[in-house]
Structure 1
Amino acid sequence: MLVGLGHVDLVCRDVERSLAFYASVFGPLGLEPPFVVEGERGEPIHYLRFPAAGSGSVGLRQALEEQEFELYAPGLHHLAFAVGSRDDVDAAHANATASGARVLHAPRLWPQYHPEYYATFFSDPDGFRIEVAASRDARL
């Protein structure tokens, strides 16, 4: 039986910069310090863990070459983080702004997703689109 998403790994141009960014944006909201495992090439993979058991993790890996992220190229479009309240969305937005993130959409309601769907969108240091959302319908 499928029970959820275990983890997603992102390939970063500068892992240390990305670790600092995610810690500054999501650390105050409960993101746990990363644990490190060895990848198939012997490289470290830094897994960012969420506070709720069974909620998965995000792995950060060092890129082998310098390359810009392209939003509509095959691959990842965006990564959405679920939070417990609109205040948490607002806090993530403030943390991202303070960290120098490029804000794509300030926090607001997105009724086309769900009547109570409240979210913000910004880019991480590699240009990955990050969404932070609070919704009564946790399936999105």
Structure 2
Amino acid sequence: MPLAFHDSLGVRHICFHAVSRAVVDQVGEWLKNRKGDLLRGPQEMPLYSVSYYTVDFRDPNGFVLEVAHTPDIKL
């Protein structure tokens, strides 16, 4: 399913905070092993912050989920 922009209100995606980059890598490996709908990553996203590290994917219902390690960003 291609990514699309919508003119409606609502949640764009849900992001889970990972305690380390290793957790992001583990999620990425788990998704690859199960042929999950991986959108990007695991990869660094310096546009967001110097240490932002993320993996994004779609769940079985098509919702975008993210697991990110963001040590430089206060929650």
2:55 and 2:37 map into 1 onto residues whose CA distance is: 11
Q: Which of 2, 15, 19 is 1:80 aligned to?
A: 15
Structure number with greater Rg is 1
SS in 2 for 1:133: strand
> Counterpart in 1 of 2:47?
112
Q: How many Å apart are 1:101 and its aligned residue?
A: 1.8
- In the other structure, the counterpart of 1:133 is 68
In the alignment, the residues of structure 1 paired with residue 37 and residue 5 of structure 2 have an alpha-carbon distance, to the nearest angstrom, of 14
Alignment partners' CA distance in 2, 1:101 and 1:123: 8
Q: Give the 5 Å matches for 1:30-45.
A: none
Gaps of 5+ in 2: none
For 2:60, the aligned partner's letter is P
Change (3 A) 1:101 1:71: farther
Matches within 5 A, 1:1-140: 72=6, 73-139=8-74
Q: TM-score, normalization: structure 1?
A: 0.46
State the number of aligned residues: 71
Q: Which has the higher contact order (CA 8 A, sep 6+)?
A: 2
In structure 1, runs of 5+ residues without a counterpart are 1-69
Q: Counterparts of 1:103 and 1:89 in 2: how far apart (Å)?
A: 13
CA contact (8 A) 1:102 1:123 kept: yes
Determine the C-alpha separation between the residues in 2 that align with 1:86 and 1:136.
10
Percent of matched pairs sharing the same residue = 32
Displacement, 1:71? 6.0
Cα deviations by residue, 1:50-86 (Å, 9 ceiling, x for unpaired): xxxxxxxxxxxxxxxxxxxx76342110000111111
Measure how far apart 1:93 and its partner are: 1.0
Secondary structure in 2 matching 1:100: coil
